[in-house]
Structure 1
């Protein structure tokens, strides 16, 4: 079983489908087939990188970046399926062209897993990322060890895991993150919020969001009204928002809600290109639905606190699916993110008894 870090980082999907009401999907049921690149605007091609797991693929984008030069956005995991898919398009529809830059929207393995491999295959093409995402990826890939740190075990126990759940999660050691990404180069190219990248003949402004990951980069082409959204805005599922042992005092849900407010300042008529799912119109409707979902969950948790609750006692109020060993780490991270936000906003308080965290109405 994956550790808490791994499951939360691998699983970009939330545990609950959300409303796509108000969205329109300009390509309908038309999605790229294996090995196919689908042109969605001049100089922008969409393809699906296959991978294991419930989402089955991640959306990759190939942008023209010169006469025979390309910029690749998001790569899939370091797995035989994703690698073979890359070879197929590089030797097929992209034959005769060169990948000269690689951009990772954020640090999760389904988005940067093959960035290092593709860089080396492409004459050391530079990798562009925000600094926090790059450093987190480097840290997690370097911190693989056979034993789970006591701080992580205490985090699980604090959330209410029993001894069997802790023992099961500990069997795989700590952070197999490195196994899901190809070795990253030592250096990278930093991109910053507000910076304008010239890609081909177009200007793309970097718009940073947070909550799902710490410094997630989106790209906005204001002239053509296109937003490359990665996992910051998905059309039919909620991105995983989790609290982690490496920053237990953080408020990732607060960061997520603040990012929603910031993204509302963007035009509503953008074509949104998400990291998973289909391109869509209706950015503001989607942001409204995402905010509403999380605020409803927060209210449900407060109503559930008729007596002190642990994170594991809150799964039924947050998720529509049973929580088994395969998703308990992700569910725990999401539950703690919501409980922590209630604590930060003064709606709940936390008491520690025998290492277990109990949450009550404030």
Structure 2
């Protein structure tokens, strides 16, 4: 029997404040302009300064919070887990303000440039055409077009140079060694950080305590199986001790990572069963299955983008497993179980 999930902290820090969570580790909580309304960032003691893990979305209130936190402190580097705007967004600004360089995986650095510059099938046009093929109606497609390149709003600039992170690399940060653990499915080369001496895992978005991270199929890789990659990746965390303190990007720090991995497997298995049942009659498109997968209406273009990507991810996963068949007719993609 795995240990239950436990939370050492009852509340999150206020923006602009730092709360110690382990020796040499401080927790920052910054706002986000979405339904998911916050991101956790981490400061690791690094010699006479601190290394940041993730940087926050490019918003003036977050810049102000950073200035408050860094008053009288030196930032040595920004280690970014992956390319999404709430993680990479202020890396260039922090470098300009403090001189702290960017450390990130090559796949994440390149993906960020592709999305910002709208190169090939990383563009809004490619995304909406991909979703149109999967049955999304023109009203919701128009909402995505009007939303524009939301990524660039959160990442207005990317540092010109970076230090490349590799899977299994050991980073010496202050007095401690941190080993990188690559994860797939949520981002190309998501890097979590593990310190055996402290018994701490900075999990980024790969392991969250109360929600499952978004797993989406992208227009650039339409037949991909990101959900399969994600489930395989989180299994790697089970090699870590059960009492590891997990520092997630959203939600509060927690213990009980083995239990959480098991919960995520069960959650996605149950959602797959729901989709199989829904497709047992006539074939259905991903757009038709959004309300089935999420059991609610999706209110805005931002969430529609994630919901469509995740619906396709579950359907592709089932197709790869031989449980679902893809049918392509007249430019429309549907699935039957």
* Range into which the TM-score falls when normalised by the shorter chain: over 0.9
C-alpha spacing 1:296/1:329, structure 2 compared with 1 (3 Å): same
Residues 242-281 of structure 1 mapped to structure 2, 5 A cutoff: 242-281=216-255
Q: Which runs of 4+ in 1 moved over 6 A?
A: none
**How far is the alpha carbon of 1:320 from its aligned partner?**
2.9
CA distance in 2 between partners of 1:43 and 1:136 (Å):
32
Deviation at 1:179, TM superposition (A): 2.0
1:220 alignment counterpart: 194
Deviation at 1:167, TM superposition (A): 2.4
Structure 2 length-normalised TM: 0.94
Match of 2:7 in 1: 25
The alpha carbon displacement at 1:150 in A equals 5.0
Report the equivalent of 2:40: 59
- Conserved 8 A contact 1:104-1:112: yes
| Contact 2:128 2:144 (8 Å CA) reproduced | no
CA RMSD of aligned residues (A): 1.7
Map of 1:1-362 to 2, 5 A cutoff? 22-27=4-9, 29-66=10-47, 68-91=48-71, 95=72, 97-123=73-99, 125-143=100-118, 150-173=125-148, 175-305=149-279, 306-326=281-301, 327-361=303-337
In the alignment, structure 1 segments of 5+ residues that lack a partner are: 1-20
Deviations 1:281-332 (A, max 9, x none): 0000000000100011111111111210111221233113212334222111
Is the CA contact 1:51–1:81 (under 8 Å) kept in the aligned structure 2?
Answer: no
TM-score by length of 1: 0.88
Name structure 2 gaps, 5 residues minimum. none
Higher helix proportion, which one? Answer: 2
Structure scoring higher RCO (CA < 8 A, sep ≥ 6) equals 1
Cα distance in 2 for partners of 1:149, 1:32 equals: 36
User: Aligned partners of 1:32, 1:176: CA distance in 2, in Å?
Assistant: 27
Go from structure 1 to structure 2 and tell me whether the alpha carbon gap of 1:23 and 1:155 turns closer, same or farther (over 3 Å shift). Answer: same
* Contact 2:16–2:64 (Cα < 8 Å) also in 1: no
